[in-house]
């Protein structure tokens, strides 16, 4: 089987979609599937050329919709080489534009040479995005775009691929008409992380020397309102006023140069135990995860939470909100509470009340939950089986 993955950007700083592909493609390749990626990045982007799979960069794309003029010509010439095309993400040109280009291909060529088309929303059909108070204009825009473009692409696809059962159920709520030909829960997995080694911890401590030898809690994700970082800082600062035995708090991820990111710095003030590290990658990132006492994500909406699963794979307990769609699978290896100020305060307080042996036991259970639910090999097998069973029907 030959699969083409269409995505707006492979930039690691853009969020989880690119990382999901970087986990997915090597695992599919190991299952005998040929993969190529079509991205709207400019060909000279500095993050390209570092992957072990083919990435065709045909950008740059233009505007918030990420319109890419090269998409249709490229697909008209190249689509026949593939059995399946998967558009990753919604609300930008890679989804509806791919559906339109494949429709043109079907009319111009022998229909049998046009690959089957699938959509993988990666949580972008979650009703949160239509309900959040700060997204009212975007919610109206999305309703219009759904009627004109996205709905046709989703409902006309051979199938819609979901990363978990909760995502599949939530996707039915926000938009009408919503009539996908197939709803396929294929899951998502992550590559096994590097084992804990002194070199990884040293790399992180070199990046953040103040944390050498100190316990810390870790938030590692894009710094955005959706992630509830303000809730985390508020709860931490309150506990800091009440007790002297708090571990440090590390907030790691891109987005500190935004209005929201700057507001977090103001909120933290001169607190010496709160560390904003920026985006971490490679050995520094893995050192940060392996070295933390627990991973924290009080998100208002999280489709899968790749970094959550990475922490579990490193045998780190996870402290998350019940708005992370995979919270039920994660709960044996951590603590779960509401995505509110009170819930986040409870989350940290419950963690601090645990004995060291209880914390260690949660880490062991986190690793077990990763192996049972989120191995990349299992996810690749489920995706391949779903595509083989449906693409010709």
Residue 139 CA: distances (Å) to CA of 131, 143, 145:
8, 6, 10
**What are phi and psi for residue 257, nearest 5 degrees?**
-90, 5
* DSSP 8-state assignment for residue 55: E
Terminal CA-to-CA distance of the chain, rounded, Å? 15
Both 24 and 161 in one domain: the answer is yes
Crossing angle for the helix pair 356-373 and 306-313, nearest 10 degrees? 110
Q: What is the pLDDT of residue 368?
A: 98
Q: How many separate domains does the chain show?
A: 2
Helices (H), 165-258: 165-170, 198-207, 229-242
Both 254 and 183 in one domain: the answer is no
Closest CA to 94 of 71, 118, 110, 114: 71
Under DSSP, is residue 361 helix (H, G, I), strand (E, B) or coil? helix
Counted residue by residue, the chain has a size of 393
List per-residue pLDDT tens for the chain, 393 residues long: 999 999 999 999 887 899 999 999 999 999 999 999 999 999 999 999 999 999 999 999 999 999 999 999 999 999 999 999 999 999 999 999 999 999 999 998 877 789 999 999 999 999 999 999 989 999 999 999 999 999 999 999 999 999 999 999 999 999 999 999 999 999 999 999 999 999 999 999 999 999 999 999 999 999 999 999 999 999 999 999 999 889 999 999 999 999 999 999 999 998 899 999 999 999 999 999 999 999 999 999 999 999 999 999 999 999 999 999 999 999 999 999 999 999 999 999 999 999 999 999 999 999 999 999 999 999 999 999 999 999 876
Q: How far apart are CA 51 and CA 268, in angstroms?
A: 37
Q: How far apart are CA 263 and CA 265, in angstroms?
A: 5
In what side-by-side order are the strands of the sheet with 183-185? 54-57, 34-39, 2-7, 84-88, 116-120, 159-162, 183-185
Q: What pLDDT, in 10s, does the model give residues 77-112?
A: 999 999 999 999 999 999 999 999 999 999 988 777
Cβ atoms of 18 and 9 closer than 8 Å: yes
- Stretch (H or E) spanning 320: strand 318-321
Q: What is the pLDDT of residue 94?
A: 98
Closest CA to 22 of 380, 389, 382: 380
Distance of CA 4 to the CA centre of its chain: 20
The pTM of this model reads: 0.90
Both 169 and 207 in one domain: the answer is no
| Residue that the structure tokens 């029907």 belong to | 393
| Residue that the structure tokens 């003029």 belong to | 69
Both 180 and 302 in one domain: the answer is no
Cβ atoms of 160 and 180 closer than 8 Å: yes
Which residues on adjacent β-strands are paired with residue 159?
Answer: 118
Q: What is the pLDDT of residue 112?
A: 77
Under DSSP, is residue 334 helix (H, G, I), strand (E, B) or coil? strand
Both 172 and 282 in one domain: the answer is no
Q: What pLDDT, in 10s, does the model give residues 228-272?
A: 999 999 999 999 999 988 999 999 999 999 999 999 999 999 889
Both 41 and 160 in one domain: the answer is yes
Both 123 and 266 in one domain: the answer is no
Q: How far apart are CA 216 and CA 59, in angstroms?
A: 41
Closest CA to 5 of 53, 27, 37: 37
3-state helix, strand, coil in the chain (%, to 5): 50, 15, 35
Under DSSP, is residue 179 helix (H, G, I), strand (E, B) or coil? coil
Both 94 and 173 in one domain: the answer is yes
Both 156 and 204 in one domain: the answer is no
**CATH code at 92?**
3.40.50.2000
Structural domain boundaries, residue 270: 198-373
Cβ atoms of 37 and 54 closer than 8 Å: yes
Angle among Cα 177, 83, 36 to the nearest 5 degrees reads 100
Both 364 and 386 in one domain: the answer is no
Neighbouring C-beta atoms of residue 110, cutoff 10 Å = 9
Cβ atoms of 254 and 278 closer than 8 Å: yes
Both 146 and 290 in one domain: the answer is no
Closest CA to 230 of 157, 298, 129: 298
Both 332 and 275 in one domain: the answer is yes
* DSSP 8-state assignment for residue 13: G
Residue 326: both structure tokens together: 């995979």
Cis status, amide bond into 236, omega within 30 of 0 = no
Closest CA to 318 of 331, 329, 306, 328: 331
């Amino acid at each position: 089987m030959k699969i083409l993955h269409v995505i707006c950007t492979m930039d690691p700083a853009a969020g989880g979609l690119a990382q999901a592909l970087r986990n997915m493609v090597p695992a599919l390749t190991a299952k005998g599937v040929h993969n190529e990626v079509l991205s709207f990045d400019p060909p000279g982007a500095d993050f390209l050329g570092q992957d072990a799979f083919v990435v065709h960069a045909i950008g740059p794309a233009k505007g918030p919709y990420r319109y890419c003029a090269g998409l249709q010509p490229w697909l008209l010439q190249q689509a026949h080489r593939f059995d399946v095309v998967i558009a990753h993400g919604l609300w930008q040109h890679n989804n509806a534009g791919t559906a339109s280009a494949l429709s043109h291909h079907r009319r111009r060529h022998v229909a049998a040479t046009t690959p089957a088309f699938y959509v993988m929303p990666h949580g972008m059909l979650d009703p949160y995005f239509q309900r959040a108070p700060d997204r009212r204009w975007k919610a109206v825009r999305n309703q219009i775009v759904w009627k004109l473009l996205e709905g046709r692409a989703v409902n006309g696809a051979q199938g819609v691929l979901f990363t978990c059962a909760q995502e599949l159920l939530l996707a039915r709520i926000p938009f009408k008409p919503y009539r996908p030909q197939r709803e396929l829960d294929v899951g998502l997995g992550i590559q096994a992380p590097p084992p804990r080694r002194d070199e990884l911890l040293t790399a992180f401590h070199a990046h953040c020397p103040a944390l050498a030898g100190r316990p810390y809690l870790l938030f590692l994700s894009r710094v955005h309102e959706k992630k509830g970082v303000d809730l985390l800082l508020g709860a931490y600062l309150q506990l800091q006023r009440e007790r002297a035995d708090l571990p440090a708090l590390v907030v790691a991820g891109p987005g500190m140069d935004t209005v929201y990111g700057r507001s977090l710095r103001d909120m933290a003030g001169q607190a010496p135990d709160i560390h904003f590290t920026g985006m971490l990658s490679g050995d520094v990132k893995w050192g940060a995860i392996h070295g933390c006492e627990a991973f924290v994500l009080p998100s208002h909406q999280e489709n899968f939470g790749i970094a959550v699963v990475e922490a579990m794979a490193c045998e780190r307990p996870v402290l998350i909100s019940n708005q992370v769609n995979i919270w039920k699978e994660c709960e044996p290896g951590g603590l779960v509470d509401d995505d509110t100020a009170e819930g986040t305060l409870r989350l940290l307080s419950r963690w601090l009340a645990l004995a060291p042996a209880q914390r260690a036991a949660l880490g062991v259970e986190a690793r077990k939950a990763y192996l049972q639910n989120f191995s990349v090999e299992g996810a690749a097998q489920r995706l391949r089986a779903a595509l083989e069973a449906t693409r010709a029907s």
